[in-house]
Every structure is written in structure tokens, then in C-alpha cells.
Structure 1
Amino acid sequence: MNTYTYPLPLRWADADAYGHVNNSLFLTYLEEARTRMFQDMLPVDEAGRRQRAFVVSQSVVDYRAPLTYREEPVDVQVWVVSCRGARLELGYAIRDAERTYAEAVTKMAAYDLDTGRPRRISEGELEFLARYTES
């Protein structure tokens, strides 16, 4: 499987009084990795980004182990599960060398924010996403 891996630094503020990272922040971690992965695919100008956006329609997170605050980053891995028409499904794993803390799936729609309507994923986007597609 070809994955995009983002080494995510944890913040002290992410942890609760017990030192555990709050589960709600896992969605933020997924968003951060996904956004960094998409940087090379999305247009650089604001108008282009509005017309070639992707919006999240569903996120499912399976929490596997508590993640405690530490200085070392965790890896957020992202890959394409499926991609066709206007639909994109991404898989994720938040892990380090010892364990997996969470696995997730995000369903997204290619979207034109100016028209407020879904759009087809372009050939260029399909070529980019093919780099990270499950084999």
C-alpha cells in the first residue's frame, strides 16, 4: 500500500489531566495529515481552491489504544481506499513503531464551493490520488 506519512508533533495542550490525548483531537490529526497530503494537488490560488475543493461527508474512527503526550511525534498515515466520480474515501492510521492508536476512514466529495454542488474528480486529481491508492 502506498501511503502518505505525516510525522505529527503532539502539543501539551492536546492532553487531559491524565496525560491522554483527547479523542476529539484525532479528527484534527486526520485533517492535518490530509491537508498536507493534498497540498501538491490543490490549486494555489483561492478561486481555484474554492472550485476544486473536497468536503468531508463522514468520518469513522476506531480507537485502538490510548495516546499519551510525549515529545516524539506520531505518524499519521493516509491512503486512498477508493476514488471515482465525485467520491473519495481515505484510510488512516495513527501509529508509532510500537502500536496503532487509531484507524479511521473519511468519505469525501469533490465539491465546487462557488456553485454549492458536487463535481467530478479531475484527471489530474485522479493521477495524483493514484500515488496513494491501495494496491
Structure 2
Amino acid sequence: MARHLYSCPLRWSDMDAFGHVNNVVFLRYLEEARIDFMFRLAPGDGSPSFSGGSVVARHEIDYLRPLVHRHEPVAIESWVTKIGAASLTIAYEIKDPDVTYVRASTVVVPFDLASQRPRRISEEERRFLQEYVDDGMTSSA
């Protein structure tokens, strides 16, 4: 199983009053990693894959340890745990080599902006996503 790796910078404004990264900010970090995964790494130059838009249908997040602000970025690993006909689930870990701060998942629905409706996952998108499916999970059509 391949995992997408994203190096996420921490910002001074990410901190709460206790000097930790605020819980809401972690959702922004997940968004940055997800966009980097789905759009920058979309298959093929000029491919329409993932370009029409997507919406978040669900987030789940487990805060395991506080992350204190520092100048070094934090790593975000992302992978796919489920591919459905018109949705996919992305799992994440926000971590350093020796500690995991957050485990999370997001259900993403591809969206047709012109018709303002959800759409099915294309075969090209499915092939791309399949490379990142967790070994313990099976995708469904």
C-alpha cells in the first residue's frame, strides 16, 4: 500500500491559549493534505480527474496527543480505506517519526459543479485511488 506524504507547516496563528495547535486547525491540515493528494497527484497531465470539485460528507478525528507549535513541519500520511460508486474515504495520521498526534478520516463525494450534484467516481480516478487503498480493506464498486 502506498501512502501519500505531505509536509505541513505550522503557523503561529494555529496555536490556542495553551500553546498547542488548536483542535479546529487540524481539520485545515487534513484539508491541505487531501487537496495535495487528490489534485496535485491526479493522474495524467491535463486529466479532468478530481477537477470538477468535491465535497466533504463526514470527518472523524481522534486527538491522541497535543502538538506544540514549532518551526519544523509535521508529516501527514494519507491513504484510501474505501472506494464506493460515488464516494471515497481517506484516512490520515498527523505525526512525527516517534509520535502520532491525530488519526482521522474523511468521506469525500465527487461533485459536478455545473449541475450542483454529486457524481460517480470515474474509472481513471478509481485506478489512481486503488494505488493508495489500505491492504486490510477492500474497495467496492
TM-score by length of 1: 0.90
For residues 51 and 93 of structure 1, what CA distance do their matches in structure 2 show? 25
Paired residues, number? 133
For residues 119 and 42 of structure 1, what CA distance do their matches in structure 2 show? 18
Change (3 A) 1:50 1:130: closer
For residues 9 and 111 of structure 1, what CA distance do their matches in structure 2 show? 29
1:41 alignment partner AA? A
CA contact (8 A) 2:54 2:108 kept: yes
Aligned partner of residue 66 in structure 1, secondary structure: coil
String of CA shifts for 1:46-102, please: whole Å, max 9, x gaps: xx5897322100001100000000111110111000112001111010000121100
Aligned partner of residue 21 in structure 1, secondary structure: coil
What is the Cα deviation at residue 40 of structure 1? 2.7
Aligned partner of residue 33 in structure 1, secondary structure: helix
Unaligned 5+ residue runs, structure 2? 136-141
The aligned residue for residue 30 of structure 2 is 30
For residues 107 and 76 of structure 1, what CA distance do their matches in structure 2 show? 17
Once the two structures are overlaid, the 10-residue window that deviates more, 19-28 or 49-58, is: 49-58
The aligned residue for residue 64 of structure 1 is 64
Percent pairwise identity: 42
Report the aligned-residue RMSD.
2.0
The aligned residue for residue 87 of structure 2 is 87
String of CA shifts for 1:16-54, please: whole Å, max 9, x gaps: 232100000000000000101112328988xx5897322
CA contact (8 A) 1:14 1:22 kept: yes
Once the two structures are overlaid, the 10-residue window that deviates more, 88-97 or 108-117, is: 108-117
The equivalences for 1:95-106 within 5 A come to 95-106=95-106
CA contact (8 A) 2:86 2:120 kept: yes
What is the Cα deviation at residue 15 of structure 1? 1.1
1:40 alignment partner AA? L
Aligned partner of residue 13 in structure 1, secondary structure: helix
Change (3 A) 1:9 1:40: same
CA contact (8 A) 1:82 1:90 kept: yes
CA contact (8 A) 2:87 2:108 kept: yes
Aligned partner of residue 17 in structure 2, secondary structure: coil
Aligned partner of residue 23 in structure 2, secondary structure: coil
